[in-house]
Structure 1
Amino acid sequence: MLSSDLHASSNSVVTEFVSEHPMDVAMTLSPLRRGKGDPTFERDSAGSVWRTSRLPSGVLTYRLTQISRFRVRSEAWGAGAAEFTGMLPALLGNADDASDFAPEHPTLIQAHREFPHLRLGRTGLVMEALVPAILEQRVHGVSAFASWRRLVTKFGERAPGPTPRPMFVPPAADVWRMIPSWEFHLANVDPARSKTIVRCAQSAGRLEETATMTAADATRRLRAIPGVGVWTAAEVAQRAFGDPDALSVGDYHLAAVVGWSLLGRPLDDDAMVEYLEPLAPHRFRAVRLLAVSGKAIKPKFGPRTPLVDHTGH
């Protein structure tokens, strides 16, 4: 249930959403955060989640405050504030249906029992999820997050509203498309990734349409862009579509984590896909449960792969 009011004094749209299901705002939105210092995401001292976005109607800042397990208060600023009201239930995972999720592994059964309120949210915004996923291809997260911070703060817009720190809205597709190659270079983004971002920005309209397609058709259209593979498409599907089955095949750690957590030994991608097949269409849900429950494990062996600096090349 939604109820909204326009607060003229703060130029904001305030909405309260009441769900039939228990919610955890921080848990549901945490996959949208791109590392510490993400200029589009913040949690304040009261525990509220602040986030920026770009909707068809314009830029947006919203603050989500958990009032109770079933009630969330939203305050939104910017040209996109009114449109955001209609997107709020899906963002909070209200459309997520885990009723037929029936794991048999004891670890997953226990995780599901401990976190029955895990909801997979849906932003409906493809480029917003796609660009940072491309930045995270084949590099350490810390490097990708730094690239994201630099590019968003330099080419994005200052976020509307009384943000708890300076925050920025990600660039529009037309801006991503026009960022010079040397700016990507200075942000430590190699040509392969920067060219993929530009190609996606050039096709942004058709890519945003995937939010209304079936999972198979959406993946097919995303992967038609050179440089967008199965891992990147899955990362987008998890966030933009709330797809509970979008498995990040090709992730540097995931197969080993799944193997160690559920079998006590590492798996490769093919073995992971085969092992998790009985959990379809909830394979991503299973992986997410391992993560939020703290039951995802992977022993550390040997040195970490080195960070790569492309700015000096």
Structure 2
Amino acid sequence: MTALLDPDFCYRVARSRDSRFDGQFVLAVTSTGIYCRPSCPAMTPKRSNVRFYRTPATAQAEGFRACLRCLPDAAPGSPDWDLRADLVGRAMRLVSDGVVERDGVRGLAERLGYSARHLNRQLIAELGVGPLALARARRAQIARTLIETTALPFAEVAFAAGFSSIRQFNDTVREVFAATPSELRAKRGAKAVGGPGLIGLRLAYREPFDAGALWAFLGARAVPGVEEFDGDTYRRTLRLPRGVGSVALTPAAGHVHAELALADLRDLGTAVHRCRRLLDLDADPVAVDTALATDPVLGRLVAAHPGLRVPGAVDGTELAVRAVLGQQVSVAAARTIAGRLAEAYGEAVEPEGARVFPSAEALAELSPAELPMPGNRARSLLALCAALASGELVLDSGTDPADALAALQEIPGIGAWTAGYIAMRATGAPDVFLSGDLGVRRAAARLGLPESPSALDDHASRWRPWRSYAVLHLWQSELQQ
């Protein structure tokens, strides 16, 4: 049994109201029938009246209702699922991305390469519930968000959240939140944070959080027409399973404020999940910083930027294409090339001048001569797009980083640096070290670390399993010179 599932440990966390553990487990109170975050401000119940579960879905399956005070369903996601590359971790990420609603349990199992029966058995063994219960909890959370932040009729809310009927929607909301949809909406006044035609919501994270460095990283690489950064808010268009959309992300006290515009509201949960992965919001920064700070050199960098996150991606295909475009050119040059591709082959959306980044299918149909880059790199890009368009290569939250690294390096022209960069950002791999990166090597030399890639790799082994975060710290140190 892991520490987080040890009842005595969990109860000590609950008594201390330590918000770092929000999302890593929930506590259910048998005397009230309610489950809460560990940091819930309510009086801590007696030890004999408390049970602990890995996920809200598990607590719901046992008959407990979500606390309307601490909103445990809106806590940051568990860093365990965000990092694990095993079957359960990959399944949890795909459920969060809405695969069950789109493709069913069979589709989820096929995506993972297992039978539906085996997947169900593994999830029940690990979590106590199967994929349907996990998807139901996700639908309930989406429904509450739409109830509280929009004026949509409840029938449309039910449809957008993925419920098959208004009756199922009503029953689930009452069961999970101990309130009717009308009662939830009556309390929404202070929470309605979206503008006209927008869905506004708060994306929770664990402190510390170096928002400045993260927004600066994204802003420096913003592709014209696709992304925009004004110094405070990062905006971008989104390609989602059922249509297009856009999001504006602004750091605020204790959360990230998100405003979403969606062509199809059924994409809300998927959009939120992908924005969280883009910003690495489900990380455990204390665990990362504590581990890296043990290195005398890296410790100084961690102290200067506590809570540094690894930027992810809202679309693995887009990230992979942009990584190839960035080979052997500056960040500014890569932005320019990506902007030209978006303008020429991306789908036009509102407002005027905005584009959704071109799909792999659209780019795979081009010839090398139509791409604004050297011939060899153009051929590598087209081979990558062909693999992505055919489904031979998949880069999303359910992809095993090791599989992605191996598959990418089989494509001519994609070497260790490009494959590692894609795996780090597109799959969210926490333990990729880019020893061949020029910026990493410069920072290492300046800090007195080994300069050769092989020697630097050996030194970086002490930073496992957080070497991706070490890369970000080294890059950040270069920016400050």
TM (normalized to structure 1)?
0.80
| Alpha-carbon contact 1:89-1:95 (below 8 Å) kept | yes
| Alpha-carbon contact 1:230-1:249 (below 8 Å) kept | no
- Following TM superposition, the consecutive aligned residue runs of length 4 or more in structure 1 with deviations greater than 6 angstroms are none
Deviations 1:176-221 (A, max 9, x none): 112233321xx2x011111111111111123225641332122112
How many residue pairs get aligned? The number is 287
Deviations 1:112-135 (A, max 9, x none): 123222122433632111111101
Larger displacement relative to structure 2 (9-18 or 58-67): 9-18
Distance 1:259 1:86 in 2: 38
Which of 239, 243, 250 is matched with 1:65 structurally?
Answer: 250
Does 2:230 align with 1:40? no
Distance 1:109 1:295 in 2: 17
Gaps of 5+ in 1: 298-313
1:169 shift after superposition: 1.5
TM (normalized to structure 2)?
0.54
From the superposition, tell whether residues 167 and 22 of structure 1 become closer, same or farther in structure 2 (CA, over 3 Å).
farther
From the superposition, tell whether residues 294 and 24 of structure 1 become closer, same or farther in structure 2 (CA, over 3 Å).
same
Deviations 1:265-285 (A, max 9, x none): x71222221221211222221
Larger displacement relative to structure 2 (123-132 or 32-41): 32-41
How high is the sequence identity, in percent, across the aligned residues? Answer: 25
Higher relative CO (Cα under 8 Å, sequence separation at least 6) belongs to 1
Does 2:282 align with 1:95? yes
From the superposition, tell whether residues 32 and 224 of structure 1 become closer, same or farther in structure 2 (CA, over 3 Å).
farther
- The letter of the residue matching 1:281 is P
- The letter of the residue matching 1:78 is L
| Alpha-carbon contact 2:400-2:427 (below 8 Å) kept | no
- Please list, as runs of the form range in 1=range in 2, the aligned pairs for 1:167-246 lying within 5 A after superposition: 167-184=354-371, 187=372, 189-204=373-388, 205-209=391-395, 211-246=397-432
Does 2:320 align with 1:154? no
SS in 1 for 2:249: strand
- The letter of the residue matching 2:300 is Q
SS in 1 for 2:392: helix
| Alpha-carbon contact 2:313-2:426 (below 8 Å) kept | yes
| Alpha-carbon contact 1:207-1:221 (below 8 Å) kept | yes
Gaps of 5+ in 2: 1-73, 76-144, 153-194
Distance 1:167 1:293 in 2: 33
- Please list, as runs of the form range in 1=range in 2, the aligned pairs for 1:54-133 lying within 5 A after superposition: 54-68=239-253, 70-79=254-263, 82=268, 83-98=270-285, 99=287, 101-123=291-313, 125-133=315-323
Say what the alpha-carbon RMSD is for the aligned residues: 2.8
Does 2:466 align with 1:282? yes
Distance 1:112 1:135 in 2: 31
- The letter of the residue matching 2:463 is L
Distance 1:196 1:137 in 2: 11
SS in 2 for 1:142: helix
| Alpha-carbon contact 1:122-1:239 (below 8 Å) kept | yes
Distance 2:336 2:419 in 1: 22
Partner of 2:328: 138
Larger displacement relative to structure 2 (22-31 or 231-240): 22-31
- Please list, as runs of the form range in 1=range in 2, the aligned pairs for 1:285-296 lying within 5 A after superposition: 285-293=469-477
SS in 1 for 2:451: coil
